[in-house]
Structure 1
Amino acid sequence: MANVITVTALNRYVKTLLERDSVLTDVALRGEISNFTNHYKTGHFYFSLKDEQCSVKAVMFRRDAQNLAFMPQNGMRVIVRCRISLFERDGAFQVYVEDMFPDGIGAMQMAFEQLKEKLDKEGLFAPEHKKPLPAMPKCVGLVTSKTGAALQDILNVTQRRYPIARFLLYSVTVQGNEAAPEIANAITRLDKGGRVDVIIVARGGGSREDLWVFNNESIARAAFASSTPVVSAVGHEIDFSILDFVADLRAPTPSAAAELVMPDMEAELREIRRSYSNICKEIQNRLQLCYNRVRDIEAAPQLAAARSLPLGLLRELSEKADAARAAMHGKMDAAKGRVAHAAMLCGSLSPYSVLARGYSIARKAGSVLKSSADASEGDRVEVQLAAGRLSCRVETIITEEEL
């Protein structure tokens, strides 16, 4: 006869078997929600997941439920990440849900609208919270994948428009279960670090499922809390995410984000040259006016009468005239100083000033070479110098490891 055991021992044994099965510790389960209950005291979600033939009881504890970007509803099709176990007291086989995602366009759109309405009511989309972008950022924070096309698009546009820009890359996963906390953490750390003037969150195009992570509430709240301006550059022009509504500026593509954030250096240089020319003309005009006024005063009858004044009065007039000339020269020196400062700024922005210090730029087929790996032996390259260019052929390549 078999050994006699208690019900408690049986349930505990079955629970142990289930929890020791590695297959059942991390399961992705698809089903339709039914009998959904949001427990008003504990905040736990209790529901069933069913398909055409079967159903299973499920629970999602408050610590996981409060991170959802939407509120589950009866009839909604979802995919859940869960572990399988046994509720020992009742001997109830059930799944313990750790995360949940809408399954299908209808469910995704419902979840999107729920979160959008919630955050809008809290004021996260309000225009008065939008921060202006810096006119000439010194350092730009990038939150994107280091291997993605979005990063290369941004770098290519920057090289053309504003090659003196610096970047601080925070590489993250841009889709999947781990992406949302990584992206939210990256925004927060770049903002708190104080080293960047603007943050671009970027990802190339993809399906709606691929881009769904950017509808995560934690990312939206991190962007809203950032004191550094945040630019959303996710997907293509037709794609919209919750991050687009919260960010200080929405760019339709990563390339467009670079266009909006980076000033056109050539246009800025032209503006500096125009301002310099206008300042010089203004100084000349004012000098001419001063000269004409002095000439008119010297020719005035009152000056002739003044020459007959007593010596003490003539000396006082001469001192006041000297003081007036000194004041005029002081203003001229200050104006010249401002002109010189503008000229120095113009020169510092020019990439040719870097070349004049002995540096050069190597290009192959019009593209700038940044690494020896970008060229091969026998390639024709063009070397830009401060004065003129050289057309060269690559004879030998020395890698960084060989230096």
Structure 2
Amino acid sequence: MPEKKVYSLFNLTTSIQNVINTYCNKTIWIKAEIVRLNYYPKSGHCYPSLVEKKDGKVIAELRGNIWSGNFEMINAKFKSVLKEELKDNITVVVQGTVSYHPLHGLALNIVDIDPEYTLGELAREKAHTIAKLREAGIFNANKKTLLSSLPKTIAIISVETSKGYGDFIDIIQNNPLAYKYHFLLFPAILQGERAVSSISQQLERIKKHSEIFDAVAIIRGGGGEIGLSSFDNYLLAEKIATFPIPILTGIGHSANETVSELVSYESFITPTKIAEFLLQKFNDFAVPVIDAEQKIQNEVNRMFKKEKVNLKETARLFSSLTGSAMNNSRANLNQLATVLDNRSQGLINEQKNMLDQAKRSILANAKKTLNEAAINLSFTEEKIGMLSPLNILKRGFSITRQNGKVIRDSDEIQEDLLLETQLYKGNLFSRIEKIVKK
């Protein structure tokens, strides 16, 4: 029996390396999705995790290498074309060669990335979403909803710490005319692959209490083409288009409107423009009311002035008709005119007092109604806060998701995908080692 020939692991991996380096050293272009960039600032190197998905499942995966010199060049090109740096969760076309190392394994050495392809992919997704919405007949649905002539109660979807949200609140709360608004923040992620599900969940929460709010404002502090790509997603655009109350969008300074902006009731280039729009609506409502009050007051004064002149003219005619025969009665007529004057003045004062009292009553009732609405809104906000997932997470519970979907049953788990566990502070990402069904 011939003796076994045993190779060392190093011999095997070295042989694989020689084969790959000999036959697979051609530079090629490859389409893939960067799920995690893995950039190390200290060295300047980058080791992106590249995948290809089909129907939401990963069907191929490979590690990439981008050495510091190439990364600087690629990143600068991306910022020039897309106004953003290279980041996680984007589809790219990369140029590189396949390599194998006995210790580090198989990798794709990337020397270039074409940002124009990524830009084209975003444009294609946007066009596809618009076509589906038009085909479904819902593209203009939200534009047909009715916006109150005085929109004062606003639901806001934003990141509490964002500059755009801060600017919006500052303009609303510090407006020079002291107009009062009621608003409630629904915090959401507004960038990346989780933005669609995060915004959609908050829209569903608002929808359950849509009778409370006059409008929804989606506020974001700007960004490049990639950062705004989630707003071209069909599922999110569909929710906005079919929402029962007006949605106002102010999500950035991009030259091209996203689909979410196109289907919203009205879009604004910045969050501050939404605030100015709401203030103008309040002013458009308030000014005619003030003008009407002034016109009523002026008309009453004019009428009483006219009647006073008529009374004096009547007294003068009586006096001139009687001549000398009426000399003895002149004093009586003057006295009568004085009495009439006093009565007319008293009537004027009485009407003025009635107007002042009516004005005070209207203001008091309006303040009472607004206070009651504020109390109800605060109570509703308290109830919403109690039901907030954050309060549940704070007590030690967690939420596990896979591919953006909340996992409630082990049968729903796909073993080849990452698990994301949301804690009260931070998220964990893990892979499945074993599933025990109970």
Q: What TM-score do the two structures reach when normalised by structure 2?
A: 0.45
Which of the pair has the greater relative contact order for Cα pairs under 8 Å at 6+ separation? 2
